[in-house]
């Protein structure tokens, strides 16, 4: 199984973290706050996104289908957001704090995950397509 | 992950027979209207129905705009989430319109403008004139560029003028304009969707989402204020701006064709000015497939499944996602900072957008205010890229086929002519004129834009029921929905005009 399969998903996950952290820095938030936001959200999403790519490449999830990706993120996205919330509270306040209405929080994140899944898959396809095209081009050049 | 569409694209990029090849004597044709009959050709195999990359990105880029980011969140703050049932009807209707636009374009490889000309040429000229009147004004740039000014400090006229020139250069250098734009817009829309989901996840609550979603099913809800002279025209305008507005759905037929969907595979692609010399001869009309052949009809069903997935998940789903997210954001801001409602109610668009940004900033920190403005700038960029390409594509298509002597030029030359024409005019107006158009004709432009939507519903009924072979004509239910669409748009427009003396706002 190639680790390359994990790259597009990991890139999209990290990009989401960079968007959140980068905007925080842009509007003058402390760098530490921006960095925590970027890592606490970007790393879980990148790990899950990369894992999804590997699962599909290994045949454990069907290729080219939206439903398995949506179901994966239905569980994964709320988990990543929970990690994000806990990490931010831990770094900024030194205490582990769960969201006040945990069930409501997870249910809401689960619903938002549908939108995330569409955007994730959309960007993932683009990056994967570029990687395949680049791979095919370099492969053809090598075989000459 | 596989890109199933890639395989299909490779297939359709090499169609079995092109116009330049000699047509056999006595070949079968499909006569449609008074214009040249369409020769029968093979329909390419359809791609798998589940896909992500395709021409819908243009419709999403054009359709997800001010209606979703500003007009509907504004109405929700003013009248409550229950007003959103009108949005649900507007976007669902647009999804059906999209499927019907695709029916003609995929069956013939012709644009809906050509189809309108087959019914009655003046109808097509009406759309040609409406496009010239409505879409040459660069006002659509102002909201996005003003948002960029708030973030970066760069004066909005500077970024708008530089943006216009960059768009022109980019499109002129492109080998195939469609491919370049699809790549670019896919990334931009993907970023918009991912970022919207992230921000909504960080600031919204379960209650916001529930009230927003359940509000979509409160059919018939209309508070007394909504029927006033102040707000009814705003509601009509918001419904018209739910999803693609004006002529955007009609331009989608040109993007479908250039993507190689259905019989569009037999039509050459529009190239950038620099590569115009490589463009193949554009046929003088589209093609039809053999609808009496069961194998061809099976392929047609595959293409209908393909575009239905586009309409339901990509178009309907993303439009809903963005507008639900923005409504959730607006509700969160209103909860934290109640003065947002007064700001939004009183302000004109730019003032209200800044007010919403400030409210978001006070609700979720300066990050949220900047995120909101960033989204507005991104939406503005998407719309501008899509609009300039679409306008030039549509006008070039109509001019090439129906202006006497225009066939001396290549389609790419005409495209470049309209593109640089609208860019030059846009820069002149941005620097010295009224960006939205002269004040005296603003009402006329708003009227024409909404009228065009009712008019294209009528055109769809005529074109799809009279110009296509019976086996691929729309079903009765579809015709009823499109007919109701015409009544919906035209009825509200004229009711607003007669009852309140105002067009749309």
Q: What is the pLDDT of residue B18?
A: 43
- Are the beta carbons of A114 and B325 separated by less than 8 Å? no
Q: What is the pLDDT of residue B289?
A: 95
Q: Which residue of A has its CA nearest to B184?
A: A126
Residue B20 burial class via C-beta count within 10 angstroms: exposed 0-12, middle 13-18, buried 19 and up = exposed
**Smallest Cα distance from B451 to chain A, Å:** 33
Q: What is the pLDDT of residue B11?
A: 37
Q: What is the pLDDT of residue A143?
A: 59
The top-scoring range by mean pLDDT among B90-94, B219-223, B291-295 is: B291-295
- Are the beta carbons of B52 and A132 separated by less than 8 Å? no
**Quick check: helix, strand or coil at residue A97?**
coil
User: d(Cα B64, Cα A122) in Å, to the nearest integer?
Assistant: 16
Q: What is the pLDDT of residues B235-287, one digit of tens each?
A: 888 888 787 888 888 999 999 998 889 999 998 888 877 777 776 778 889 99
- In whole angstroms, what separates CA B272 from the centre of its chain? 22
**What end-to-end distance do the CA atoms of chain B give, in Å?**
45
Q: Which residues of B touch A28 (CB under 8 A)?
A: 366
Backbone angles phi, psi at B246, to 5 degrees: 50, -130
In the predicted model, is pLDDT for residue B365 greater than 70? no
**Smallest Cα distance from A138 to chain B, Å:** 19
Q: What is the pLDDT of residue B5?
A: 36
**Percent of chain B residues topping a pLDDT of 70:** 82
User: Are A23 and B374 a contacting pair, CB within 8 Å?
Assistant: yes
Q: Closest Cα partner for B243 from B190, B357, B167, B319?
A: B319
Q: What is the pLDDT of residue B197?
A: 82
User: Are B34 and B118 a contacting pair, CB within 8 Å?
Assistant: yes
pTM of the model: 0.81
User: d(Cα B201, Cα B195) in Å, to the nearest integer?
Assistant: 10
Query: Which letter, b or e, does each residue of B73-98 get, where b requires 16 or more Cβ atoms within 10 Å of its Cβ?
Result: bbbbbbbebbbbbbbbbbbbbbbbbb
User: d(Cα B435, Cα B142) in Å, to the nearest integer?
Assistant: 8
User: d(Cα B380, Cα B61) in Å, to the nearest integer?
Assistant: 9
Q: What is the CA radius of gyration of chain B?
A: 22
Backbone angles phi, psi at B188, to 5 degrees: -65, -45
CA distances in angstroms from B421 to B128, B165, B250, B409, B445, listed in the order given? 15, 11, 21, 16, 19
**What end-to-end distance do the CA atoms of chain A give, in Å?**
26
Residue of A64, A65, A122 lying closest to B186 (CB–CB): A122
Residue of A15, A81, A132 lying closest to B201 (CB–CB): A81
| B38 DSSP β-pair partners | B30
Q: Which residue of A has its CA nearest to B2?
A: A64
How many Cβ pairs closer than 8 A exist between chain A and B?
122
User: Are B90 and B51 a contacting pair, CB within 8 Å?
Assistant: no
Indicate the domain borders of chain A. Answer: 3-132
- In whole angstroms, what separates CA A58 from the centre of its chain? 19
Q: What is the pLDDT of residue B12?
A: 39
User: Are B64 and B379 a contacting pair, CB within 8 Å?
Assistant: yes
Q: Which residues of B touch A77 (CB under 8 A)?
A: 201
- Are the beta carbons of A23 and B370 separated by less than 8 Å? yes
**Smallest Cα distance from B269 to chain A, Å:** 21
Q: What is the pLDDT of residues A40-91, one digit of tens each?
A: 889 999 999 999 988 888 888 877 677 888 899 999 999 999 998 888 888 8
Q: Closest Cα partner for B157 from B147, B146, B169?
A: B146
DSSP B16-74: S--TTSPPPTT--EE--TTSPPEEB-PPPPPPPS----STHHHHHHHHSSHIIIIIHHH
Backbone angles phi, psi at B39, to 5 degrees: -65, 150
Q: Which of A1-5, B20-24, B172-176 has the lowest mean pLDDT?
A: B20-24
- Asked if A46 has any chain B CB less than 8 Å from its own CB, the reply is no
**Percent of chain B residues topping a pLDDT of 90:** 29
B3, B189, B198, best to mutate vs chain A, most A CBs in 10 Å? B198
Q: What is the pLDDT of residues B388-409, one digit of tens each?
A: 889 999 999 999 999 998 888 8
- Are the beta carbons of A64 and B4 separated by less than 8 Å? yes
In the predicted model, is pLDDT for residue B459 greater than 70? yes
What contacts A111, CB < 8 A, 6 or more positions away?
B209
Q: How many other CB atoms are there within 10 angstroms of residue B347's CB atom? A: 15
The top-scoring range by mean pLDDT among A14-28, B144-158, B168-182, B415-429 is: B415-429
- Are the beta carbons of B3 and A125 separated by less than 8 Å? yes
CA distances in angstroms from B431 to B125, B138, B151, B158, B388, listed in the order given? 30, 11, 22, 9, 19
Q: What is the pLDDT of residues B309-321, one digit of tens each?
A: 878 877 888 888 8
**Quick check: helix, strand or coil at residue B365?**
coil
Q: What is the pLDDT of residue B15?
A: 42
- Asked if A30 has any chain B CB less than 8 Å from its own CB, the reply is no
DSSP B335-359: HH-THHHHHHHHS-HHHHHHHHHHH
B1, B195, B360, best to mutate vs chain A, most A CBs in 10 Å? B1
Going by pLDDT thresholds of 50, 70 and 90, the confidence category of residue A16 is confident
Q: What is the pLDDT of residue A64?
A: 67
Query: Which letter, b or e, does each residue of B422-443 get, where b requires 16 or more Cβ atoms within 10 Å of its Cβ?
Result: bbeebbebbeeeebbbeeeeee
Domains and CATH numbers, chain B: 54-500 (1.20.1740)
User: d(Cα B388, Cα B383) in Å, to the nearest integer?
Assistant: 8
Going by pLDDT thresholds of 50, 70 and 90, the confidence category of residue A2 is low
Span B202-225, mean pLDDT? 82
* DSSP state letter for B501: S
Span B66-81, mean pLDDT? 77
Do the bridges between strand B29-30 and strand B38-39 make them parallel or antiparallel, or are there none, so unpaired? Answer: antiparallel
User: Are B63 and B244 a contacting pair, CB within 8 Å?
Assistant: yes
Span B280-305, mean pLDDT? 91
User: d(Cα A53, Cα B71) in Å, to the nearest integer?
Assistant: 38
Q: What is the pLDDT of residue B102?
A: 95
- Return the higher-pLDDT residue of B84 and B6: B84
- Asked if A27 has any chain B CB less than 8 Å from its own CB, the reply is yes
User: Are A56 and B1 a contacting pair, CB within 8 Å?
Assistant: yes
Q: What is the pLDDT of residue B2?
A: 35
Residue of A16, A27, A63 lying closest to B194 (CB–CB): A16
- Are the beta carbons of A112 and B209 separated by less than 8 Å? yes
Residue of A104, A120, A123 lying closest to B206 (CB–CB): A104
């Amino acid at each position: 199984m190639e680790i390359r399969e994990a790259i597009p998903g990991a890139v999209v996950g990290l990009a989401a973290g960079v968007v959140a952290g980068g905007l925080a820095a842009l509007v003058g938030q402390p760098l530490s706050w921006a960095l925590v936001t970027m890592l606490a959200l970007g790393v879980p999403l990148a790990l899950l996104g990369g894992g999804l790519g590997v699962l599909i490449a290994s045949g454990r999830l069907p290729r080219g289908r939206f439903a398995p990706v949506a179901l994966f993120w239905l569980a994964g996205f709320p988990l990543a957001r929970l990690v994000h919330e806990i990490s931010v509270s831990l770094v900024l306040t030194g205490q582990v704090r769960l969201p006040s209405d945990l069930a409501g929080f997870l249910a809401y994140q689960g619903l938002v995950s549908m939108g995330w899944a569409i955007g994730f898959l959309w960007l993932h396809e683009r990056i994967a397509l570029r990687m395949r095209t680049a791979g095919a081009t370099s492969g053809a050049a090598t075989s000459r | 992950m596989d890109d199933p569409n890639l395989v299909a694209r490779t297939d359709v990029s090499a169609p079995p027979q092109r116009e330049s090849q000699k047509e056999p004597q006595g070949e079968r044709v499909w006569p449609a209207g008074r214009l040249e009959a369409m020769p029968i050709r093979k329909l390419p195999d359809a791609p798998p129905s589940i896909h992500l990359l395709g021409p819908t990105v243009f419709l999403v880029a054009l359709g997800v705009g001010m209606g979703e980011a500003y007009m509907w969140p504004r109405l929700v703050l003013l009248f409550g989430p229950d007003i959103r049932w009108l949005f649900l009807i507007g976007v669902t209707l647009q999804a059906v319109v999209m499927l019907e636009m695709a029916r003609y374009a995929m069956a013939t490889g012709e644009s809906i403008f050509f189809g309108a000309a087959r019914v009655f040429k003046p109808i097509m000229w009406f759309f040609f004139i409406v496009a010239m009147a409505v879409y040459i004004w660069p006002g659509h740039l102002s909201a996005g560029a003003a948002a960029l000014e708030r973030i970066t400090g760069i004066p909005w006229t500077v970024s708008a003028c530089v943006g216009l020139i960059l768009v022109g250069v980019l499109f002129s250098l492109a080998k195939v304009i469609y491919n370049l734009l699809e790549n670019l817009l896919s990334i931009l829309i993907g970023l918009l969707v991912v970022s919207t989901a992230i921000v909504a996840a960080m600031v919204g609550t379960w209650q916001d989402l529930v009230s927003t979603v359940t509000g979509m099913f409160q059919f018939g809800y209309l508070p007394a204020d909504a029927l006033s002279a102040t707000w009814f025209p705003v509601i009509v305008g918001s419904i018209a701006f739910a999803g693609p507005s004006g002529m955007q759905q009609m331009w989608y037929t040109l993007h479908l064709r250039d993507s190689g969907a259905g019989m569009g595979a037999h039509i050459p692609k529009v190239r950038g000015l620099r590569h115009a010399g490589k463009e193949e001869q554009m046929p003088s009309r589209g093609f039809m497939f053999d609808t009496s052949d069961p194998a061809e009809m099976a392929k047609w069903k595959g293409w209908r499944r393909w575009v239905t997935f586009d309409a339901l998940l990509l178009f309907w789903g993303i439009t809903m996602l963005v507008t639900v997210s923005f409504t959730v954001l607006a509700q969160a801001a209103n909860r934290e900072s109640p003065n947002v409602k007064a700001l939004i109610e009183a302000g004109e668009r730019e003032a209200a957008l800044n007010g919403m940004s400030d409210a978001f900033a006070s609700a979720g920190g300066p990050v949220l205010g900047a995120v909101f403005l960033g989204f507005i700038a991104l939406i503005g960029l998407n719309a501008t890229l899509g609009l300039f390409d679409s306008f030039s594509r549509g006008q070039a298509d109509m001019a090439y086929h129906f202006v006497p002597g225009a066939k001396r030029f290549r389609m790419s030359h005409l495209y470049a002519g309209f593109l640089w024409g609208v860019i030059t005019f846009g820069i002149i107006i941005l620097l010295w004129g009224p960006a939205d158009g002269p004040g005296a004709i603003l009402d006329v432009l708003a009227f024409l834009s909404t009228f065009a939507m009712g008019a294209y519903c009528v055109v769809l009924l005529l074109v799809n029921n009279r110009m296509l072979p019976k086996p691929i004509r729309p079903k009765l239910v579809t015709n009823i929905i499109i007919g109701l669409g015409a009544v919906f748009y035209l009825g509200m427009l004229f009711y607003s005009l007669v009852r309140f003396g105002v067009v749309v706002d």
